Amino acid sequence: MARGKVGDERKEQILSAFEACVLRNGLAKTTLQAVADEAKLPRSLVRYFVGNKPAMANLLIDRMSERAERDLVSGFPVGVKPSFSELIYFVIDGAFTNTTSNKIIGELWYLSEKNEQIKQNLALLYGGLQNQIIEGMEAENIGKNIEDRKTFAHAVMSLAYGQASFEELGLVISKASTKHMVDAMLQSII
């Protein structure tokens, strides 16, 4: 059992180093050697525990997905699932506000143009959020059909992601305005 724990700790150490290197230098300029140096490990151990750069990128996507899930449930008692409106407001207020994750995602988008696996994993990450919104709508009988629900979920995610992206450029609008737009969209499909 101790070996598994050490392996998990090493993997976490390497992923933290990878994340730091990507934030500092960008994904294109991040090498396995730079990650090894940041983690203070031999390059051979980096390859052993996480593999090559695309494999690390996929593990980083998993890590961000877990981070987002923790952020979502942290405001609720254990075992309590957020309501549909709580989920929507989380998407607007919190899902895209982690600047570290946003910068990493931006770098991964670039890499996904060249790596189909990373592209698929990013699609799974955002598809999971879209499905949570759709399931919340279904549970509360919101929307006439699955296409309405998919369109609404996609629009909410686009607004929230776009808002976070524009904030990075200094183009800030209140989240209350975005919530008002989401409420208006919601009323149009009820």
- Tens of pLDDT along 71-105? 777 766 777 777 888 888 888 887 777 778 788 88
H or E element that contains 29: none
pLDDT of residue 63: 83
Task: Tell me what the mean pLDDT of segment 17-33 comes to.
Answer: 90
Same domain, yes or no, for 166 and 86? yes
Question: How would you class 9 by CB atoms within 10 Å of its CB: exposed for 0-12, middle for 13-18, buried for 19 or more?
Answer: exposed
Same domain, yes or no, for 97 and 157? yes
Same domain, yes or no, for 126 and 176? yes
Same domain, yes or no, for 116 and 162? yes
Q: Which domain holds residue 70?
A: 57-189
If one counts the domains in the chain, the total is 2
Q: Output helix, strand, coil percentages for the chain, rounded to the nearest 5.
A: 80, 0, 20
Same domain, yes or no, for 76 and 44? no
pLDDT category of residue 4 using cuts at 50, 70 and 90: low
On the question of pLDDT at 7 being above 80, the answer is no
Question: How would you class 189 by CB atoms within 10 Å of its CB: exposed for 0-12, middle for 13-18, buried for 19 or more?
Answer: middle
Same domain, yes or no, for 74 and 153? yes
CATH code for the domain of 143 = 1.10.357
77 Cα distance to chain centroid: 22
pLDDT of residue 1: 44
Same domain, yes or no, for 31 and 72? no
Domain boundary (36, 51, 66) is at 51
Query: Ranked by mean pLDDT, which of 68-72, 101-105, 135-139, 164-168 comes out on top?
Result: 135-139
pLDDT category of residue 152 using cuts at 50, 70 and 90: very high
pLDDT of residue 18: 92
pLDDT of residue 3: 58
